[in-house]
Amino acid sequence: MKVGNQEYQTIWMDQEAKKVCFIDQTLLPFNFEIKSTDCSTDLITAIQTMQVRGAPVIGICGALALVLALKNNTSTDHIIDMAQKIIQARPTAVNLAWAVNRVQESVLSQAEHKREQFAWDYVSELMEDDIRNNYQIGINGNTLIPPGKEKPFNILTHCNAGWLATVDHGTALSPIFQAHKEGKNIHIWVDETRPRNQGLLTAWELQQYDIPHTLIVDNAGGALMMNDQVDLVIVGADRISINGHVCNKVGTYLKALAARAHQIPFYVAAPLSTIDQNFKEDVNFAIEDRDSKEVTRLYGLSDEGSLVHVNYPQVKVANPAFDITPKELISGIITEKGIFKPNELKAIYE
C-alpha cells in the first residue's frame, strides 16, 4: 500500500540481515517510522504495546518472532517454550495462535539443522498468503458496493481493519480500496475508536488514496444510521466462532444493533484464519482487558505542534478491548473464499 508515493507492507523480512522491519503504529498518524530488529522479544513487545496491531498482522508478527527465536537455538524445547511465550503476548485475536502454532508444527517436523532456514521460507509464504487473501477479500467485498455515481455510497467502519492491520490490503478496508480503484463513488464514516483511536489510522490510510472520509466520535453512528446517512457497515474481526458470532474491537456490537434497527447491512471482513473452530457458542478465550491509562491518558499534538500526553483525573476504569456481536446481527462474512452467512461457516470445514 502507498504511503505518499512509496509502496509499503506493514511488516517485512530482511532475510540477508536476518531482521524483521515493521511500521511503528504507536507513532501514527503523527510520525511515520520504521523499526527493525533481529530479536524475538522485541517483536513480542511490539505486539503487546501495539506497535504492530490488528489480528492478521499480529499473527504474522508472532510467526516472525518465532523465526527470530531460532537464531541461536533450534532445539525442540526452545521452540515450544518460545511459541507459548509469543502466543501469550495478546489473548484475543486468534490469528496469533493460529500462525505461531502453524510455524511451530512445521518447523518441528524438520531436522534441527534445517529448521532456521525452513522457518524463514515458511513464514515468507504465510505473508504472501495474507497478501493474496486480503486482496481477494477486497474483490469479494467490492461486489456489495454499487457504483453510486450521483450520490456517494456511505460505508461506516469501526477500528482499523486496513492494510496496517494486515501485511497488506486490509480486511474491512480492502473492498473499499477496490471500490475506489474502480472509480466507485464512496464516502467512509470512520469511527474514532476510543481509547486507542485506531480510527485515526483508518483515516490516515484513506488519506493516502484520497478516498473521501469523515472521522466521527464513536457514539455518532446511530444517529447517522437513523438519518439514512449510512448504506453499509463493514468491520474486521479478531476471532469468529464457527457458528458465526464475531469478536471485534469494543463498540462493534453497538454498531451492529443500530444497523439492525435501521435495516442497514452489517458485514464482517476477515480471512479464514480468523475463524476459531473451538469457539462455538460460549466465549472460551480471554477478552483483553487493557491498561486503565489507555482511557485516562490521551496522546496527540499540542497547539504548538509538539507531541504531548494529557491526563484525565485518576478514576476507576474498565477497559475491555473487544466485544462479541451475535451472528443474528450479521448479514454476512466476507472471506477470501466468498461471502458467507454466519451459519454457513461450518460447512467450509465439513
Minimum CB distance to ligand MRU, residue 173 (Å): 9
The answer to the question of residue 273 lying near ligand MRU (CB under 6 A) is no
User: According to the binding rule CB under 6 A, does residue 198 interact with ligand MRU?
Assistant: yes
Residue 91 CA neighbour count, 13 Å, CB half: 11
Residue from 54, 59, 199, 251 touching ligand MRU (CB under 6 A): that is 54
Minimal distance, residue 300 CB to ligand MRU, in Å: 17
Three cell numbers, residue 58: 499480529
Q: Which residues are catalytic?
A: 238
Phi, psi of 62 (to 5 degrees): -65, -45
C-alpha grid cell, residue 245: 458470532
Among 169, 180, 239, 249, the residue binding ligand MRU under the rule CB under 6 A is: 249
Q: Which residues have CB under 8 Å from 344's CB, separation 6+?
A: 244
190 binds ligand MRU (CB under 6 A): no
Tell whether residue 51 is a contact of ligand MRU (CB under 6 A). no
Nearest residue (CB) to ligand MRU, 106 versus 319: 319
> Rounded to an integer, what distance in angstroms lies between the CA atom of residue 159 and that of residue 74?
38
- By beta-carbon proximity to ligand MRU, the closer residue of 49 and 277 is 49
Rounded (10°) CA dihedral 160, 164, 170, 176: 60
Do 247 and 237 touch, CB atoms closer than 8 A? yes
Nearer to ligand MRU among residue 116 and residue 205 (C-beta): 205
- Residues of this chain, 214-243, that bind ligand MRU according to CB under 6 A: 235-238
Please, where are the H alpha helices in 154-241?
174-181, 198-208, 221-226
- Here's the x/- map for ligand MRU, 290-329, by CB under 6 A: it reads as -------------------------------x--------
User: Does the protein bind ligand MRU through residue 160 (CB under 6 A)?
Assistant: yes
Q: What's the closest the beta carbon of residue 318 comes to ligand MRU, in angstroms?
A: 16
Residue whose CB is less far from ligand MRU, 107 or 264: 264
C-alpha 179/C-alpha 145 separation (Å) is: 7
Cell of 256: 451492529
Whole-angstrom distance, CA of residue 262 vs CA of residue 63 = 41
